[in-house]
Amino acid sequence: MLPELMRALVAALIVGVAPGWFWSALLCPARDRAERFAYSVALSMALVPAVVLVPTKLFGLGVTLPMAVLSTLLVFFGGLVAYLVYGSAKGPEGLLGTEPGGLGLVVLVPVSGGLVLALGTAIGFLPFRWTLIPVSALMVVAGIAHLLASRRPTGVERGVIADSLGLRERPSASLVLLAVVLAMALFHGYSGPVLHDWPFIRGVDHYSHAVMANLMMTRGEISPYLIYPPGFHTMTAMVSRLSGLDPLEIFPVLGPALLVLPALALYALASRLWGWECGVAAAAFSVMLGGTYFYFNDAMYPNLVTSQFLLVLAVAALLRLYATPSVRSVILLALLGSSVVLYHPVASMYLALLLAPATVLFLPYLLLYERRTGVSVFAAFALLGILSVIYAWDTYDLPQAVAGMVGGSRASTTGDAVGMAVGTQAVYPMEFLIGVMTSPPVAWLGLLGVFLLAGGPRGRVGTPRMLAYMTLILWTAIIFLGSRASLTGFPQRFGRDLGVPLALLAAFAFVAVVRSLGPRRAAAVFAASLAVLAASTLVGLRTLESLENSSVSSPQMTMTPDIAEAGAWLEAHNTGGNIMVSPHANQVPSRMMLAMGDYAGLQSFAEYQVDHPRDLPPTGPQPMRDVLWVMNHPEGEKTQLLLQKHDVRYVVLYKNMPDRVTLDYWRFFASQPDLYRTVFENRDVLIVTRRDTAG
């Protein structure tokens, strides 16, 4: 495991960190190396696949080793030359926002009461459903009290504890604490796989990502496997070429490390807004986010990378643009914002839902009263839009999609996919959304943070900070509302991502609560002490619970040694054509065999999924119906014609699976020795081929 980890890690650093190092220095001034590292990763992810996709699209090539090396060097040396010519970015060293100050007694009383109730649920004294409404109500009351009594905090209220410890004069403390948080994030990701999974990895979606990465290496495109943007799989293909590891070998060793990215992004944004204390707190809160770990546990790596890393830094770039309008800020936002479109469709929806109201609400005011900022924001949005259209043109078949929307003669596959998704996914129950996906400390403190931001800027900050706070609140509101509406098509994705903006706001609120300690009236000291004690204990308990839960075995393990043996046999005997895999309770079993055997088709879906589609490939339902026919009718002329039509070399039949009940399709084929010859069999899998097929 360690040799593969080192090979994959070195390749990932070469492709995913080094190319953006000088670009980050050129485009955005960083307060410390952690922030610069975060932007280096983001800009590498934005630029490297964009460059390598040019020859793949122009010449129909796959991502080869020379192409991976040349593209990486081009981005790296392009950034170095630009840095030497234009120098590092200059900008104000101050914060984009206003540091949180201490809270007044009228705010601390309901806050402490709500946190004590929440702590009661954490230690098992009170059922969570009984405290859901009371804690929410107390946080709202505290927020309203803050809005009514909004005032500038006194010097005593601001950072007494930090000043007494000397932390505010020691910025190195931020890096030490951040290193501890990042170590927890790595433990969060690696503990479970190391203890239970190796040489496999938990999750189901990584099989699809392996197929798409293999397609990028061989064909330079993902279609017709799925409608999916190529950014993540292009990067995976490049890491595969440089490391010599197959995608299915990369994910077990490198996938857990992706949990570091949300922590880095939240640190970079929060520390730039409100100082390093908020940055470290936001990064720490990312470790307890259930939605983040669910993405990893399901192997939904592109979702995690995009909505919880690239999108966060795109928001940070937008806030920078409000404060320091310049050509470099425009380019930074355009690159990071458009990279979201290059990596994932749902995160692209988040970005569009955020930028649309920002364009309508903020841009007219800026163009009228803050001309330089307004022009810069308009230029950034325009450039971002142009790049996004370029990235989405082939992926989503934009010309046909637009034609279908305006009444064209033929609907697009993208339109069909959207139609499949809308209204078909149930929303998470509120108890599950707050108690599991978001984590109660993040939810309650984040709710308080919304009010603190809403009341904080009034009458004492300029336009950039006011717009920054409004953008953060708007971002949170959009994700929350999307998680409660099935018409978004992906309410559960919204629910998993809600914790990200809430972690940011929760960090602001947590630091404000801590800074309430100090020499004050007895009642205020008692309320502040109670709030700090309850908040710290609640955060600590939930963090330990999150780390403990991540170290247990996962139900999202579909692999066994026997299934892996069958997959290896398929890969070794792959001479082209396609395979058919018996369908069992969703598309995962077939995609698993496709990934291991290095095939791209045919996918197998259960009959219910074909009749009630949500995730069909762009080929439409007919190939899936052909598979179902063959599985249920192994004999007959129609079956033989279908096997010839799809160039099926092997029929793969599951006998046992670790996570679901299997149907006995294999018995149908085993009872037809005159038609099918067994070429592989063990306890879990039977593989047969037609008698008239060589091999």
Residue 137 in any domain: the answer is no
Nearest to 514 by CA among 174, 102, 228, 69: 102
Instruction: Please write the tens of the pLDDT for every residue from 100-143.
Output: 888 989 999 999 999 999 999 888 888 888 889 999 999 999 99
219: amino acid identity, one letter: R
Mutual orientation of helices 588-597 and 561-572 as an angle, nearest 10°? 50
426 dihedral zone (left: phi>0; alpha: psi -120 to 50; beta): beta
Residue 510 in any domain: the answer is no
654-683: burial string, b at 16+ Cβ within 10 Å, e else: bbebebeebbebbebbbeeeebbeebbbbe
Same domain, 682 and 567: yes
The whole domain housing 54 covers 2-98+164-497
Nearest to 266 by CA among 185, 324, 345: 185
C-alpha 77/C-alpha 116 separation (Å) is 55
Q: Residue for token digits 């046909």? A: 400
Residue 350 gets which letter from DSSP?
H
Same domain, 94 and 230: yes
Which whole number is the average pLDDT over 76-86?
A: 96
Angstrom distances, CA of residue 275 to CA of 270, 583, 674: 7, 53, 74
Which whole number is the average pLDDT over 150-166?
A: 44
Three-class secondary structure of residue 172 per DSSP: helix
Can you read off the two tokens belonging to residue 60?
């129909």
- pLDDT bracket for residue 523 (50, 70, 90): confident
Number of domains in the chain: 2
Please say which residue of 497, 516, 551 terminates a domain: 497
Which whole number is the average pLDDT over 247-274?
A: 95
Same domain, 633 and 484: no
Nearest 10 degrees: CA dihedral of 270, 375, 85, 235? 60
Residue 366: asked if its preceding bond is cis (omega within 30°), the reply is no
Which whole number is the average pLDDT over 343-350?
A: 95
List residues bridging with 648 in a β-sheet.
578
Q: How many residues does the chain have?
A: 695
10 Å Cβ neighbour count for 332? Answer: 29
What is the gyration radius of the CA atoms in the chain, in angstroms?
A: 27
Same domain, 467 and 590: no
Mean pLDDT is highest, among 152-166, 350-364, 513-527, for 350-364
Residue 262 in any domain: the answer is yes
Which whole number is the average pLDDT over 39-55?
A: 96
Nearest to 27 by CA among 380, 385, 466: 380
Residue 224: asked if its preceding bond is cis (omega within 30°), the reply is yes
List residues bridging with 651 in a β-sheet.
580, 688
Span of 40-54, 164-178, 521-535, 656-670 with lowest mean pLDDT: 164-178
Same domain, 182 and 307: yes
Largest CA distance in the chain: 91
Residue 245 in any domain: the answer is yes
Same domain, 358 and 465: yes
Same domain, 456 and 604: no
Please give the pLDDT value at position 151.
54
Same domain, 347 and 468: yes
Same domain, 670 and 580: yes
Q: Residue for token digits 């929350």? A: 480
Same domain, 265 and 403: yes
Three-class secondary structure of residue 675 per DSSP: coil
Residue 553 in any domain: the answer is no
Q: Give yes or no for a contact between 306 and 315, defined as CB atoms under 8 angstroms apart.
A: no
Sort strands 578-581 and 648-654 into parallel, antiparallel or unpaired.
parallel
Backbone angles phi, psi at 388, to 5 degrees: -65, -40
C-alpha 560/C-alpha 565 separation (Å) is 9
Can you read off the two tokens belonging to residue 50?
């964009």
First and final C-alpha spacing in the chain: 34
Instruction: Please write the tens of the pLDDT for every residue from 349-390.
Output: 999 999 999 999 999 999 999 999 999 999 999 999 999 999
Same domain, 362 and 471: yes
CATH number (domain holding residue 608) = 3.40.50
Please give the pLDDT value at position 157.
40
List residues bridging with 580 in a β-sheet.
651
Can you read off the two tokens belonging to residue 248?
């299915």
Please say which residue of 497, 520, 539 terminates a domain: 497
pTM: 0.92
Mutual orientation of helices 276-287 and 499-514 as an angle, nearest 10°? 130
565-586: burial string, b at 16+ Cβ within 10 Å, e else: bbbebbeeeeeeebbbbbbbeb
Residue 345 in any domain: the answer is yes
C-alpha 166/C-alpha 170 separation (Å) is 7
Same domain, 463 and 598: no
Residue 109 in any domain: the answer is no
Residue 241 in any domain: the answer is yes
Please say which residue of 456, 479, 497 terminates a domain: 497
Assess whether pLDDT exceeds 60 at residue 606.
Answer: yes
Three-class secondary structure of residue 137 per DSSP: helix
C-alpha 301/C-alpha 220 separation (Å) is 20
Please give the pLDDT value at position 388.
95
**Positive or negative torsion for Cα 487, 493, 499, 501:** negative
Q: Residue for token digits 């949180």? A: 100
C-alpha 642/C-alpha 623 separation (Å) is 9
* 108 Cα distance to chain centroid: 34
Backbone angles phi, psi at 688, to 5 degrees: -125, 165
